[in-house]
Amino acid sequence: MSIDLEKILRPTDTPLPEYPPKYMTLAGGEQLVIRQVTREEIPEILPHVEPLMHVERDFYDIVASRVYAELLGYYTYRVQDEYVLAAQIDGELVAVVNGRMANKDVGISYHTLALRRGLRVGAHAFAAKMEYHLDILGQKEVLIVAESPIGFRRWMIEYKLEKRFHVPHELGGCPSWSLTRELYDAARDTLIVGRRPVPEQLLKKAQQAILPPTDPPRPPVDLLAATRSLYDSTATALLEQRKKLGGLRDA
Ligand SMILES: CC(C)(COP(=O)(O)OP(=O)(O)OC[C@H]1O[C@@H](n2cnc3c(N)ncnc32)[C@H](O)[C@@H]1OP(=O)(O)O)[C@@H](O)C(=O)NCCC(=O)NCCS
């Protein structure tokens, strides 16, 4: 009986081609590998996303909470046609991106989460997921939203995304933006980077284990340093906490 119910609850995934792993050398000389992770690897990623749910800076809290739920949804077969890519440096998890195939022509971009700042690893991981939708799945467009000003700069402005405001995005029903094939082709030479195949040792290291981020984003000492709170006149709870902390200056 319970087995039959599980069959009803569990959507049937469309067989999708795998994202071919790629690598690139970052400005600081680090080798970044971006690869698709399997469902079985999700429990290795969740513990590194969970702490970010409490980082009230640059909208890490809301994005990490949603990513956690989406990864769990993928792991427990509660979402259809999702995929997850991981970006790793020496095995260390530095970014996670995910998305979903809505139908043959339209891709849904879910989230991009950088676990190491200042290297553009988030931007590279996002580019890889666009590559997956347009080059590997051969879709016509990807629907995207931004939940943070940094996300807006990275996706809407850098790719010059088109408005699709009449289409509510799966993420919270916000108005969608679209990366069309034309926009993607225009960005191909500048924003979509990386080489294939990944050297065997490099890929092996990434596949061996998903290592914890060594310098993950942390909550600011003074919560008012969170960019969002700084300009939020309703952040009275944070003002109270600041008073208790003894009027710390912005961190
Ligand atoms: C959006 C995001 C994926 C971009 O990742 P990224 O390309 O690797 O870029 P970073 O986050 O490292 O840097 C973004 C900016 O913050 C600055 N920055 C660098 N290190 C920083 C740090 N330790 N703290 C705060 N800002 C930092 C960078 O200089 C960069 O400025 P620029 O846009 O002028 O280049 C990442 O900021 C993130 O995960 N944010 C939280 C979740 C989120 O908003 N996701 C996107 C949802 S739409």
With 50 as the cut, is the pLDDT of residue 3 above it? yes
Ligand 1 pocket check: which of 66, 117, 161, 193 to mutate, most ligand atoms within 8 Å of Cβ? 117
DSSP 116-175: S-SS-HHHHHHHHHHHIIIIIS--SEEEE--SSHHHHIIIIITTTPEEEEEEE-TTTTPE
Residue 162: strand pairing partners: 178
Given this model, what pLDDT does residue 60 score? 96
Q: Is residue 59 lining ligand 1, measured as CB closer than 6 Å?
A: yes
Q: Is residue 153 lining ligand 1, measured as CB closer than 6 Å?
A: yes
Q: What is the pLDDT of residues 156-179, one digit of tens each?
A: 999 999 999 999 999 999 999 999
Secondary structure class of 251 (helix, strand, coil): coil
In degrees and rounded to multiples of 5, residue 52 shows phi and psi of: -75, -15
Q: Is residue 115 lining ligand 1, measured as CB closer than 6 Å?
A: no
CA–centroid distance, 112 to ligand 1, in Å, is 10
Q: Is residue 122 lining ligand 1, measured as CB closer than 6 Å?
A: yes
Q: What is the pLDDT of residues 143-156, one digit of tens each?
A: 999 999 999 999 99
- Reported residue count of the chain is 251
Name the residue with higher pLDDT: 250 or 214: 214
For atom 16 of ligand 1, the residue with the nearest CA is 118
Q: What is the pLDDT of residues 79-117, one digit of tens each?
A: 999 999 999 999 999 999 999 999 999 999 999 999 999
Closest atom of ligand 1 relative to the 217 alpha carbon: 23
DSSP 163-213: EEEEEE-TTTTPEEEEEEHHHHHHHHHHH---BSSPPHHHHHHHHH--BPP
Quick one: how far is CA 152 from the chain centroid?
A: 13
For atom 4 of ligand 1, the residue with the nearest CA is 122
What mean pLDDT comes out for the span 198-204? Answer: 98
Domains and CATH numbers, the chain: 9-219 (3.40.630.30), 220-251 (no CATH)
Res. 1 pLDDT band, cuts 50 70 90: low
With 90 as the cut, is the pLDDT of residue 55 above it? yes
